[in-house]
Homo-oligomer: A and B are copies of this chain.
Amino acid sequence: MKNHELLFGTAYYPEYMPYDRVAQDLDMMKKAGMNVVRIAESTWSTLEPRDGVFDFGYVDRVLEEAGRRGMKVIIGTPTYALPSWLVKKDPDVMVVTREGQARYGHRQLYDLWNPTFRFHAERVIRRLAEHTAGHPAVIGFQIDNETKHYGNDGEEVQKRFREYLRGKYGDTETFNRTFCLAYWSNSIDRWEDLPDMRGCVNGGLMGEYEAFKRRLAAGYLEWQAELIREYKREDQFITHNLDFEWKKFGADIAQDGYSYGVQPDMNHREAASCLDLAGTDIYHPTQDELTGAEIAFCGDAVRSLKQQSYLVLECQAQAFKYWTPYPGQLRLHAYSHLSSGAMGLLYWNWHSIHNGYETYWRGLLSHDLQENPAYREAAVIGKEWKEHGRELAGTKQPSRIALLVDNRSLEALRWFPIDRDLSYNDVVRWMYDSLYELNLECDVVDVEGLEEGRYDMIVTPALYCADENLIRRLDDFVQKGGVLVSSFRSFVADSHSTVYPDALPYGLTGCFGMSYQQFSEPGRTRLGGEPVSCFMELLKPDTAKTLAAYEHRYWGEYAGITGNHYGAGWAYYIGCYTSGPMLKEVYQEAAQRAGIRISELVWPVTVRNCMTSDGKALHYILHYSEEEREIPCPYLLAEDLLTGNIYKRGDRIHLRDWDVVILREEEDI
């Protein structure tokens, strides 16, 4: 793709339309400034209505009409949803989980390793790729969609897992010892005696099993990528739509929830290894609950996978009734994605579906398929992006802070919960969101992908599982001048979730200058005058300074937050689940120690900084508020890209509700 163009478009399903509207739809898109559509993923039964009979008619139709209008197309492989003839042919293509074999109907619930599935998936992928790769409008392929392991506990997976364990641990005694399996007589003497994992209650072994299943799922994507590579042109990319942990809210309505945290059933780092371009979907609260935090978190995470620009393959237009956007919000969403490093976005989806599971996951068009307020606001975005694409595309977001995330810790803390109301991702978001609100930009880095020497400050939310090597690296990082900020439940167990039989935080009691032996429910404990909720470790400072001590008749002798000068660096430890403001105080001290400048602007005025491809400093000012306000220009001299207004340092910049200002710093006056 050309660096000076932003992608703006939508998922498009002409096969879901109540009548033929391809030309009309593409005209409307074009009119709204869109330049790309994603098609064909999840449409297997349309592409291959019966076993071996293919019909790419509607794909051709879109390619032709898009090509005619100079629009681009991303082709999705259709394997995300099976046709029913395949299940009739071999019922075992449906996944077997803890709850039994899935029934056909819902998407995704198939057995990725079933040979019948693989045979037919390969055939349809090859046919589709062969059919479309040559078309000039096609800029890339998306393999599958939101792939996960779907809780696969089938025989084949379990057999492979046993072989994997045998290969990794060799003898059963080592295996037993590694996971403490003597407990409740779960140790085995022969590998054949490994029981059905569906009954397993050993959190460590389940963590290993889940990690194994995530790797298998990533392997499935690699398999698809290799198939596509046989057909695609050099200039076409392979991407995938990575999704995040979905947070349901309230009761069980089909259509609720949002992108919240680390995906438990797929490791993004593993999944991304076979991709040219990281793609993602990001859904988030809006209306009065729009904060931008999810757009930032997910964007930072996906950008960090390859340390390069990514594509938002799906984001919300109208979706649920909760998310009907206020005027200005759709535009604010769009710039927020760019500000994290996105090269563009596609709505999910163009139109609202007239029947089916996601009828009320509304698209840009309502069910009437006519122009509406959402469409009209999209057209504003389309127009602006066409004008400013050259400057806004291809930016770099260099971050000096890394927030480490870890699938194993997530899984371990499901088995060994901190609290029923505090999951791993809650801690991740607690630590991330306070950074975000302080306008401290960070990468969100998988713990196994942490690069040596890249960051000045590292943040570890509940990094429960940490192997000796990582611990040595972090100790070294601080000794050499780095700043480490860790929360409670970090450095507790090894990568098998086996708690270290030693002082905690394991291997880092010197670094943090403190240790603890006990933890407690806070009860009436306070910290800095505020009640502590959920969980607290009883820290005993050694060389560390107590930044905050517990206020409690019995726990008053222990520290809640400590800071320690260690070697050339500093290590901060937050022993309990504090309020946001308390956490921010620690961050402010930590950032200062790390030599990172803290903006005077704070949320709801979000500032995201990047460098244009021309090397200019660009600052997104994203206003997450329905209030109007004025802020002083923080830069010596800057121009608002969108309005052309020029501001000098201290000049008042007026922000409307849900406003966007993009300041490009100018070097000379």
Contacts and interface: CB of A to CB of B under 8 A. Distances in A.
Interface of A: 13, 15-16, 18-19, 42-46, 49-50, 53, 78, 81-85, 87-88, 102-107, 177, 179-190, 192-196, 198-204, 250-254, 287-288, 318, 320-322, 324, 326-327, 352-360, 366-370, 372-374, 415-417, 419-421, 493, 496-504, 517-521, 523-524, 535, 538, 553-554, 626
How many copies of this chain does one complex carry? 3
A302 to B, nearest CB: 25
Given A416-B360, A420-B252, A519-B321, A354 B498 contact: yes
A324 B538 CA distance: 11
B518 A366 contact: yes
A526 to B, nearest CB: 14
B554 A355 contact: no
Contacts of A524: 288
Contacts of A16: 180, 182-183
Contact of A501 (B322, B326, B368, B521): B368
A201 B496 contact: no
A504 B180 contact: no
Contact of A195 (B18, B84, B202): B84
A198 B198 CA distance: 24
A337 to B, nearest CB: 22
Given A104-B199, A370-B517, A517-B366, A420 B356 contact: no
A195 B368 contact: no
B367 A501 contact: yes
A19 B192 CA distance: 26
A353 B250 CA distance: 36
Contacts of A106: 184, 199, 201
7 contacts: A50-B193, A84-B188, A103-B199, A104-B199, A322-B521, A354-B498, A368-B501
A362 B133 CA distance: 60
A64 B43 CA distance: 70
A305 B595 CA distance: 70
Contacts of A368: 501-504, 517
A366 B70 CA distance: 67
A419 to B, nearest CB: 8
A454 B364 CA distance: 43
Nearest to A497: B355
Nearest to A287: B523
A485 to B, nearest CB: 23
A497 B355 CA distance: 7
B367 A50 contact: no
Contacts of A177: 18
Given A105-B201, A202-B357, 4 more contacts: A18-B180, A42-B184, A42-B185, A180-B355
Nearest to A89: B193
Given A45-B185, A204-B355, A103 B321 contact: no
A181 B107 CA distance: 13
Contact of A105 (B199, B324, B374): B199
Nearest to A374: B518
Contacts of A84: 185-186, 188, 193-195
Contact of A185 (B43, B352, B370, B554): B43
A512 to B, nearest CB: 15
